[in-house]
Structure 1
Amino acid sequence: MTAVAPRVVLVGPMGAGKTTVAEILAGSWGVAVRDTDHDIVAGTGREISDIFVESGEDVFRDLEAAAVAAALAEHDGVLALGGGAVLRPETRELLADVTVVFLRVGLTDAVKRVGLGTGRPLLLGNVRARIKALLDERSPIYESVATHVVETDGRTPDEVAGSIRELVA
């Protein structure tokens, strides 16, 4: 039996464009696209923000780790991970054997893309300060799992996807 592995896994913070770029790449390569956040919503019948509020972040992270493990084992197309998926050591270990692209986004672009009136559970309070804290905390982790790093600031999703296509044959 041949092992299944995604063609590429996209990681990065909210606002990096993971889902949008994943869809563009999948379309250009003629492969399926999968997003672990969408898998969690489909599997639980609950929005991620509801899981955070009603069950807590730990429960969400457990669901997320299981969704990532399943996707890595089953999916051979383009895979987009939720922004916090790389926080779990077991997820980082699973990513060691696949091509991972970190979509790096700066604070200004992330805030513009996410918006200040967002319903994202980790952004309660001062949105700009929370995004900065998440970028500062998680960027080294994204870099540690990345095969390639692609800058997204000031670039369209099509331009970002083009850069990835050049890096990932």
Structure 2
Amino acid sequence: MSGPLVVLVGPTGVGRSTVGRLPAERLGVSYRDTDDDIVAERGRTIAEIFADEGEAAFRAIEARAVARALAGHDGVLALGGGAVLDPRTRALLSGRPVVFLDADADAGEAVRRIGRTPGRPLPAGDPHRRWRAPAGARRPLRTEVARAVVDTSGRSPVGVVEAVPAAPAPRGVRS
């Protein structure tokens, strides 16, 4: 099966984007984030798409973006926090090198990261609760598709990368 060397899944704020760029650089492959694909294609932030078209429409857009990325990208791929909600996406992830980046239940660092990033489609209210609710509900789905789970709590981005199981070297590259 061809496709990405590593696929990163996890809740918002665990560092999928930050962490994903590091192994891509080390392996000399490209990095891709399906959230970035969606924003580039639609010309609007994800929060704007949620507000204007609703979550169901966004999830359909996201499922198509994930399918395209899985079929056409051979580097490191990060999926949006809710991508695993779609059963078709979970089926496409079967047998792939998926790593679930998780965070502890307190999620203090994830909540701090969320607060620094504009445009995240999260409900108003207590930031810890709004992180924990979807993260906890989606945990079984992320675990279902993952070959490995890496707890990002208290780890630097480099520390997280070091905990991610080694991906095979890309074609034509010796390790």
**TM-score for the superposition, normalised by structure 1:** 0.92
Tell me which of 71, 83, 91 is aligned to 2:81.
Answer: 83
**By how many angstroms is 1:139 displaced?**
1.0
* Aligned alpha-carbon RMSD (Å): 1.5
- The residue aligned with 2:22 is 24
| Structure 2 CA distance for aligned equivalents of residues 123 and 34 of structure 1 | 26
Aligned length: 166
Tell me which of 47, 54, 57 is aligned to 2:52.
Answer: 54
Provide, for residues 92-138 of structure 1, a one-character-per-residue CA deviation record: whole Å limited to 9, x for no partner: 00000210000011222221222288542223222221111112101
Matched-pair contact (CA < 8 Å) for 2:17–2:78:
yes
Matched-pair contact (CA < 8 Å) for 1:123–1:131:
no
Q: Which amino acid aligns with 2:167?
A: V
- The residue aligned with 1:36 is 34
| Structure 2 CA distance for aligned equivalents of residues 157 and 79 of structure 1 | 16
Residues 15-164 of structure 1 aligned to structure 2 (within 5 Å): 15-106=13-104, 107-115=107-115, 119-164=119-164
Structure 1 residue matching 2:77: 3-state secondary structure: strand
Runs of 4+ in 1 over 6 A off after TM superposition: none
Q: Which runs of 5+ in 2 are unaligned?
A: 169-175
Q: Which runs of 5+ in 1 are unaligned?
A: none
Matched-pair contact (CA < 8 Å) for 1:11–1:102:
yes
Q: Which amino acid aligns with 2:92?
A: L
| Structure 2 CA distance for aligned equivalents of residues 79 and 87 of structure 1 | 17
**Larger % of helix: which?**
1
| Structure 2 CA distance for aligned equivalents of residues 117 and 34 of structure 1 | 18
Matched, 1:5 2:3: yes
Matched-pair contact (CA < 8 Å) for 2:23–2:161:
yes
Aligned-pair identity in percent equals 50
Matched-pair contact (CA < 8 Å) for 2:7–2:76:
yes
Tell me which of 11, 14, 25 is aligned to 2:12.
Answer: 14
